[in-house]
Structure 1
């Protein structure tokens, strides 16, 4: 089996039999912590969890099935289970595993930046942590997790084999056009945004988060943008002048107008699936840098409304992990 860190071969690309483009809404459902401070095993909270109820109702009204990628503190939240058990049982939501190794037992590693990328752990410890989290989610939420995402997008050389061993058939750890190697994390600059099979037997499917380039230089983005990581002012200048902009599909730090441009670029390039994401603590003001006030929260919900409307205009239908797996060509 190839590593998740390896870019796929052209024949590994996955396509839908009906050729209808789809989108997924993934929620990194995790504890609150101060993103500006060193990671810790115990300095976090889960006070925002009650806000999941409103977001779930919002998605149901829009006929969208959110995919909650749950980490250890949320997996052990009685309130989170009370809110999500019903929607999960009725197919109005789906659940997956999101591993934050620094808060997930067993605790055998030192807490530091390197070990915050789960793929840097030994295969045995990575497997133990994922197994513990998977089993806890299934017990508390009444549903076996369908999909995995490494926290901080930190997949590693052993992650694919661990997932196959544990019977998790879908990964969504890859974030194309992003490079985390400066912090000892993975480099995904050469991975495509299209879904692809990680193994030749087609038992493990990768659903990368969607990021595109927009602007006059977007075709040269893969060559130009990585050279600018030490020059944020130059990146800003290229964006403001319409020459080159990197657009991840998320309401966190990305305007509706920017996201629509990203959607257009991905669809025009033939992407069969768009994968959106955001962090659940953004549902309560003050818990992430992206939502500081109730007005910010209103704007987040409006972002999703406008994006759902635009996707419908473009003929992109809401999907879920089960639909993706059933509709993929083998």
Structure 2
């Protein structure tokens, strides 16, 4: 029986975008080779889902071209609407509010997705096949644009998570509600991206499991509504949060036990840099991160085979 795939996805973007509201720096590009080397040690091939500011950073361009030339990973597209050309002032202060792309006018969405795709393809001289939406916000119109532009695989869906409580534009309705989406790979229905269909776009949802039982989730949800503070259910992701190796292993075990043929890991590129995120603020925390990644990757090496998103797509279409 073939081993399940281990898919590493990195949202490759500016430094500490959680807190930097008036500027975007890309120092984290200098810290990416260490993680790439770790992946190669275990014959894993990451997918670097690349945002605008990184796509024009000379250090990242050099790094990514080397990854492509050696066949040790994939470059895909990631798009944060508030700073990705062509600019369109949706809120009066988009850098502060960080609106979801799906909140912009349809024509501006099309222009932004087309621009980023062309920029990445011209810079790296490879066809863009893989994609993840900025802030996980995805809808049917966005999916149709990706299909038009020749993308094969998207990984924006976060099963069990409702982003409607995470504000974008003040006048908007928040992000996408994925609570009732599928949690395994499926070719999407263009009319309803939560359902399987006959499109050419493969959805590869993130590996996410509930933290609590369904009974506890129901009770907590009812309590939150009574308080007037509804929120998404508590979940565990296959992503490092410092000290959560066993938790990540549990997500892997539960995901594979459910019959899934892959597990999907994610992190932001800035999380490899001290001070690049709220999670890993010091040199010491970065060193602990790498110790935990070594433990996780050595454990996964025995259970999975590394694939990029495009390689996983090829596995699905070839049967």
Fold shared, TM-score > 0.5 on shorter chain: yes
Question: Does 2:260 align with 1:271?
Answer: yes
Secondary structure at the aligned position of 1:98 is classed as strand
Q: Residue 172 of structure 1 contacts residue 206 of structure 1 at CA under 8 Å; is this kept in 2?
A: yes
Secondary structure at the aligned position of 1:309 is classed as helix
Partner of 1:9: none
Q: Residue 170 of structure 1 contacts residue 207 of structure 1 at CA under 8 Å; is this kept in 2?
A: yes
Q: Residue 119 of structure 1 contacts residue 157 of structure 1 at CA under 8 Å; is this kept in 2?
A: no
Q: Residue 213 of structure 1 contacts residue 221 of structure 1 at CA under 8 Å; is this kept in 2?
A: no
Secondary structure at the aligned position of 1:148 is classed as strand
- Tell me the C-alpha RMSD between the 2 structures: 2.4
Normalising to structure 2: TM-score of the pair? Answer: 0.85
* Ranges in structure 1 where 5+ consecutive residues have no aligned partner: 1-17, 233-243
User: Which 4+ residue blocks in structure 1 deviate beyond 6 angstroms?
Assistant: none
* Ranges in structure 2 where 5+ consecutive residues have no aligned partner: 168-173, 190-196, 228-232
Partner of 2:184: 194
With over 3 angstroms needed to count, the CA separation of the structure-2 counterparts of 1:257 and 1:77, relative to structure 1, is same
With over 3 angstroms needed to count, the CA separation of the structure-2 counterparts of 1:76 and 1:265, relative to structure 1, is same
With over 3 angstroms needed to count, the CA separation of the structure-2 counterparts of 1:301 and 1:227, relative to structure 1, is farther
Partner of 2:154: 171
Partner of 1:147: 130
Secondary structure at the aligned position of 2:34 is classed as helix
Secondary structure at the aligned position of 1:197 is classed as strand
Q: Residue 243 of structure 2 contacts residue 292 of structure 2 at CA under 8 Å; is this kept in 1?
A: no
Question: Does 2:290 align with 1:301?
Answer: yes
Q: CA deviation at 1:253?
A: 5.3
Secondary structure at the aligned position of 1:102 is classed as coil
Listed one character per residue, the Cα deviations across residues 111-143 of structure 1 (whole Å, up to 9, x for unaligned) are 447762112222221121111111111122232
Partner of 2:34: 54
Residues of 2 paired with 1:316 and 1:229: CA distance?
A: 39
Secondary structure at the aligned position of 1:188 is classed as coil
Residues of 2 paired with 1:187 and 1:254: CA distance?
A: 28
With over 3 angstroms needed to count, the CA separation of the structure-2 counterparts of 1:194 and 1:121, relative to structure 1, is same
Q: Residue 48 of structure 1 contacts residue 283 of structure 1 at CA under 8 Å; is this kept in 2?
A: yes
Residues of 2 paired with 1:163 and 1:126: CA distance?
A: 11
Partner of 1:258: 247
Q: CA deviation at 1:49?
A: 0.8
What is the correspondence of 1:54-73 to structure 2 with a 5 Å cutoff?
Answer: 54-73=34-53
Normalising to structure 1: TM-score of the pair? Answer: 0.82
Question: Does 2:73 align with 1:85?
Answer: no
Residues of 2 paired with 1:23 and 1:109: CA distance?
A: 39
